[in-house]
Amino acid sequence: MPRRDENHTGARIKEQRRLARLTQRQMAALLPYSYSLLNQVECGARPATADFVAACAKVLKIDVTVLTGQPYVSELQRDRLAELIRPIREALDLYDLGADPDLSVRPAAELVSRADRVCAEVRATHLRTAARQLPDLIAELTHAAWTVPSSQLWRALASAYRSAHDISIKLGYYDLSSVALDRMGWAAERASDPCLGAVRQYMRALVYFREGEYRIGQRLITAGHSVVGQADQGREALAVTGQLHLGACVIAARASNEDAVECHLAQAESIASRTGDASNVHWLSFGPANVALHRMSAAVEMRRYDDALTQARTIKLPAQLATSRRAHFLIDQARCEMETGHPQGALASLVEARRLAPEQTRYHPAARETITGLVHISRRTPDTLHHMASWVGL
């Protein structure tokens, strides 16, 4: 069995609690969770759920990443991924410098196509490939958009910024993801594209969802509805509206607002019945399958693990579903299996997530917490679990 050390979320919660000069009982009194759970998480007997971590971060007035330990720099350095972040950060800083006379730029049509291709690479969880292409692509699109401004180029630049956000989130660089979203909004305004602007508000809402600021997240979803309301009411706007409802659904679930969860799911389901599979619209994966996945995710967020697992076993994932979404589903399923006393099933789900999306799974906090939980409850650690724990750095 991997030797348990102090490099886990519970230990970081304990450290930050002590820095805040709070006893366990004092902190538990400020949380919507019991003293017993706080004690178990701090000593490593229970994994820290995302909602628990967000609540602790809010009480301690620190970022969630302080408690999760993101980015996981040692692993990123070993994987040669950390070195890809600085060029992306530098490319994001070019936005207001205008054209670069020393830059050799590909034709506009090729740049637009390449921006779309990078989005596809991210959804396929080819993070290294996408991260290597992104800095040059952003630099060239920035030059092209300033030189011969067009809605098409500004949209492509907004798409590239969105890819920078997605990569940053998956690798744990939340500060960089916020910069990328600011840039995305800046480019979407110049493209005069309300749907893109609404997608950006949806993604901003998920940032606050991770931080436990549910009211701000809901306000951003509401702002997204206002923005998409300015678009022509076709299939594109419908799919974006539906995805906004799905975002509101998981935020409401985290806030334990069951009525709001059901309301938003009903709205999304109604829209999905009109759009069908709309996964090609802004790479949102919207459609009937994604509504079913969000219904399961809402159950997970409300800690109804039996219900969520029952749903997971009936969900049929369509062939066209993005690999990134498929892996996320498996990580959620693993959590439910662990919580309902099926450790072998949980391990199998994590192994499959790793096979499909190794980089995304290795750096996903929920996957790491579930592996931590499986190690703790296993009297004898199977070789597969030992390898998984070593692989994520436990």
Whole-number Å distance between alpha carbons of 23 and 27: 6
Residue ranges, comma separated, of all CATH 1.10.260.40 domains in the chain are: 1-69
What are the phi and psi torsion angles at 289 (to 5°)?
Answer: -65, -40
Can you give the pLDDT at residue 126? 95
Which pLDDT score, from 0 to 100, does residue 347 have?
95
**Are the C-beta atoms of residues 122 and 322 closer than 8 Å to each other?**
no
- Give the orientation angle of helix 108-123 with respect to helix 323-339, to 10 degrees: 20
The structure's pTM equals 0.90
Residue 383: predicted pLDDT = 74
Half-sphere CA count of 12, side-chain side, radius 13 A:
17
Q: Classify 1-69 by CATH class.
A: mainly alpha
CB 115 within 8 A of CB 141: yes
pLDDT averaged per 10 residues in sequence order, the chain, 394 residues: 62 95 95 93 88 93 92 89 94 94 94 96 95 97 95 96 96 94 96 95 93 93 96 94 97 94 98 94 92 96 96 93 95 96 95 95 93 82 81 80
